[in-house]
């Protein structure tokens, strides 16, 4: 499966401008390589990492509707997180939008250090997205620091994706953490970060794609750009069959 990793310089609190940019990027990607099926975007890729309570929308709102139309028009499914209000509660919600088909996950590890808990509620449910032949574990930014939350159970996912707004001041830990998650779970791992600046924070970029052995497929610098990678479920399953360490994994139960 061909995937476009899209490292954006998100415009602060400007939904229309960001959505226009996303649409242009996906059309450009599809023109460059018509076989791309999935585009992956950063955390809060329509707004920036803002806690403005006027920004979250309902699932039936403008941003989700526009993203559905963009997916339909370009023929590319997309993953990224946006601020959502659901039954009066605010969530950092990562979605896989494939035309009218929407799957979602609410960020579990809210970044209290940065004040995210002042507006957003943590999610409680571990979710596996189904896309084409792949099973995808969605994660958001700070989730990367908590390996139990991404622990594979009986090979229940093939690819883990983090949409992130990871600051420049802590960029040195991105690569070792992503590679560790790939190695310990025998799964592909993709970390998609934003780049550029917001009023209080400079961002790292440094997005990265890693295979199930922890080997780097692609990595980014700090500029806004996309890169296309090709991942193989057949190669993953073949490796898991030969190197069956997952059979010896620990059994555990997650608690709140």
CATH number at residue 167: 3.60.110.10
Q: Tell me the pTM.
A: 0.97
Q: Is the pLDDT of residue 256 over 80?
A: no
Q: Active-site positions?
A: 43, 107, 141
Assess if residue 104 is contained within a domain: yes
pLDDT band at 251 (very low <50, low <70, confident <90, very high): confident
Number of structural domains the chain divides into: 1
Answer whether residue 171 is part of any domain: yes
- Average pLDDT rounded to a whole number, residues 35-47: 98
Count, residues in the chain? 256
Q: Do residues 110 and 125 make contact, with C-beta atoms less than 8 angstroms apart?
A: no
Please indicate, yes or no, if residue 62 is contained in any of the structural domains. yes
Average pLDDT value for residue range 71-87:
98
pLDDT at site 219: 98
Identify which has the larger pLDDT, 142 or 252.
142
Residue 201 covered by a domain? yes
Indicate whether 244 pLDDT > 80. yes
What's the pLDDT score for residue 253? 83
Distance CA 188, CA 207 (A): 14
The pLDDT of residue 152 is 95
Is 253 part of any domain? no
Confidence of residue 161 (pLDDT cuts 50, 70, 90): very high
Average pLDDT score over the chain: 97
> Per the domain annotation, does 255 fall within a domain?
no
Average of pLDDT values for 180-199? 97
Q: Is residue 252 part of a domain?
A: no
Give the pLDDT confidence score for residue 37 in this predicted structure.
98
Q: What is the model's pLDDT at position 252?
A: 82
pLDDT (tens digit, 9 = 90+) per residue, 210-239?
A: 999 999 999 999 999 999 999 999 999 999
pLDDT of residue 183: 98
Rounded average pLDDT over 165-194: 98
Q: Which tokens belong to 47?
A: 């707004």
| Residue listed under structure tokens 């930014």 | 141
Q: Tell me, what's the pLDDT at 95?
A: 98
Mean pLDDT score, 122-133:
96
DSSP string, 73-142: HHT-EEEEEEEEEETTEEEEEEEEEETTEEEEEE-SS--GGGTGGGTPPPP-----EEETTEEEEEEEGG
**Band (76; pLDDT cuts 50, 70, 90):** very high
* Position 131 confidence tier, pLDDT thresholds 50, 70, 90: very high
Structural domain span for residue 215? 2-247
- 46 within 8 A of 82, measured Cβ to Cβ: yes
pLDDT mean over 139-152: 97
On whether residue 224 sits in a domain, the answer given is yes
């Amino acid at each position: 499966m061909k995937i476009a990793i899209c490292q954006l310089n998100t415009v602060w609190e400007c939904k229309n401008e960001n959505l226009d940019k996303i649409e242009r990027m996906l059309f450009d990607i599809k023109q460059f390589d018509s076989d791309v099926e999935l585009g992956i975007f950063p955390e809060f890729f329509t707004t920036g990492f803002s806690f403005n309570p006027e920004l979250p929308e309902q699932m039936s709102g403008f941003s989700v509707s526009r993203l559905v139309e963009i997916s339909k028009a370009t023929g590319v499914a997309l993953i990224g997180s946006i601020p959502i209000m659901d039954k009066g509660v605010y969530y950092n919600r990562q979605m896989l939008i494939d035309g009218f088909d929407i799957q979602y996950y609410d960020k579990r590890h809210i970044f209290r250090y940065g004040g995210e808990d002042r507006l957003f509620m943590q999610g409680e449910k571990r979710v596996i997205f189904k896309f084409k032949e792949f099973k995808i574990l969605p994660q958001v930014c700070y989730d990367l620091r908590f390996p139990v939350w991404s622990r594979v159970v009986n090979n229940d996912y093939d690819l883990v994706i983090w949409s992130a707004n990871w600051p420049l001041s802590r960029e040195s830990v991105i690569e070792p953490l992503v590679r560790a998650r790939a190695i310990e779970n025998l799964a592909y791992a993709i970390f998609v970060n934003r780049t550029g600046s917001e009023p209080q924070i400079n961002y790292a970029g440094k997005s990265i794609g890693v295979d199930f052995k922890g080997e780097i497929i692609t990595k980014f610098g700090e500029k806004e750009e996309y890169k296309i990678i090709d991942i193989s479920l057949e190669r993953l399953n073949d490796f898991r069959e030969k190197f069956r360490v997952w059979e010896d994994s620990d059994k555990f139960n997650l608690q709140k």
